[in-house]
Amino acid sequence: MISSVITGTGTYIPVIQKENEKFLNQQFLNADGTNFPSTNDVIIKKFKSITGIEERRYAELKHNASDLGYFAAQKAIEDAGINPEELDYIILAHNFGDVKSAAIQSDILPSLATRVKHRLGIENPNCVAYDILFGCPGWIEGVIQAQAFIKAKIAKKVLVIGAETLSRVVDKADRDSMIYSDGAGACIVEAKENTDEGIISHASQSFTKEEAYYLFFGKSFNKNEDPDVRYIKMDGRKIYEFALNNVPNAMKLALDKSGLTIDDVKKVFIHQANEKMDEAIIKRFFRLYKKSTPDGIMPMSIHKLGNSSVATVPTLLDLVLKGKVEHQEVNKGDVIILASVGAGMNINAIVYRY
């Protein structure tokens, strides 16, 4: 039996730190362009209490999303100890392509995956490079696709990357701009025989009838800005309620497919979008099995790294595997769940045994 096993991980965390205090002099506005009645210190305090974010990371001006993806890919390849010429696929998840500093256009010609393959110097034409657009769950969906290629016996080694520079598509007049950050995470998924390791089951869902535009591109709240320049926008309340009502069920669907029990799950690596939301999702997930949430089940990185979309789950996984998250570890044989929710509205989850 062939299993799809993560044999290497890598991450790139940008060096520019932006603490919450650096937003004190920023002008935040309502959607209609009017001023908030609250002062920025009150806004920031409430923001931290809800999201858990204390600071976030931004990419250097000279780097784009594909650069961050390349840096993370290098580390994952080195960690797996493979020859990049042996890669059958490079799958790169993102949302906005390469957005150069101070630019107002996304650049995805050629694809970001192609750019990473070029930077890696891979000559093999049978290494197929393509991008995936699936919102924040994009990297997890890439891993699911890697497994599909491996199960179909058309791939043995796949590089999956999640990279984003959200700091370049935020509206500075929108309070939600404080949520977003930049970063990249990557992994190597390999075909392995006669092993208990690897992907056990997964679930993916897209909710579009009412929910398609909960995340969207919209104009600045600042009426003095060019109305034709668009920024990432969201209906935070609807997303919060959507996630609480649907993500636990998708995780349960994946776990039930695996044949394992909730007691087998040692860690849940969930998209780092909002601390309170993530805690509520995990609580509801365990409640579906009439269980209380175990201590330490959910590693977090959002406090220092913010929400880097497709990069949050692979980055968090790599940090824990490398022993860089205090009081968190994954041991041989541990069953973990990788889960995410985001634009689309898309949800997915993977049950995996280390």
Q: What is the mean pLDDT of residues 171-199?
A: 95
CA-CA distance, 40 to 230, in Å (whole number)? 24
What confidence category does residue 136 fall into, taking pLDDT thresholds of 50, 70 and 90?
Answer: very high
CA-CA distance, 79 to 327, in Å (whole number)? 22
pLDDT tens per residue, range 57-111:
999 999 999 999 999 999 999 999 999 999 999 999 999 999 998 888 899 999 9
Query: Taking Cα atoms as reference points, which of 302, 305, 304, 284 lies closest to residue 293?
Result: 284
> Tell me, what's the pLDDT at 36?
86
Query: Taking Cα atoms as reference points, which of 160, 150, 154 lies closest to residue 192?
Result: 150
DSSP codes of every residue in 196-246: S-EEEEEEEEE--TTTTTSEEEEE-SSTTS-TTSEEEEE-HHHHHHHHHHH
pLDDT tens per residue, range 315-332:
999 999 999 998 999 999
> Tell me, what's the pLDDT at 34?
92
Q: What is the mean pLDDT of residues 118-147?
A: 98
> Tell me, what's the pLDDT at 94?
98
Intrachain domains 2-196 and 199-353 with the same fold? yes
Q: What is the mean pLDDT of residues 179-193?
A: 97
Q: What is the mean pLDDT of residues 126-131?
A: 98
CATH number assigned to the domain with residue range 199-353, chosen from the 4 options 3.40.50.720, 3.40.50.1100, 3.40.50.300, 3.40.47.10: 3.40.47.10
Query: Taking Cα atoms as reference points, which of 135, 201, 145, 168 lies closest to residue 62?
Result: 168
> Tell me, what's the pLDDT at 131?
98
Question: Tell me, what amino acid is at 315?
Answer: T
> Tell me, what's the pLDDT at 80?
98
CA 264 to chain centre: 24
> Tell me, what's the pLDDT at 38?
86
> Tell me, what's the pLDDT at 291?
95
Q: What is the mean pLDDT of residues 51-59?
A: 96
> Which residues are CB-contacts of 164 (< 8 A; sequence separation ≥ 6)?
65, 68, 94, 95, 96, 182, 183, 184, 308, 309, 310, 311
For the 2-196 domain, the top CATH level (class) is alpha beta
Find out whether 169 and 232 touch, Cβ atoms under 8 Å: yes
Q: How is the chain split into domains, by residue range?
A: 2-196, 199-353
Burial pattern 25-47, b for ≥16 Cβ within 10 A else e, equals eeebbeeeeeeeeeebeebbeeb
pTM given for the model:
0.95
pLDDT tens per residue, range 281-296:
999 999 999 999 999 9
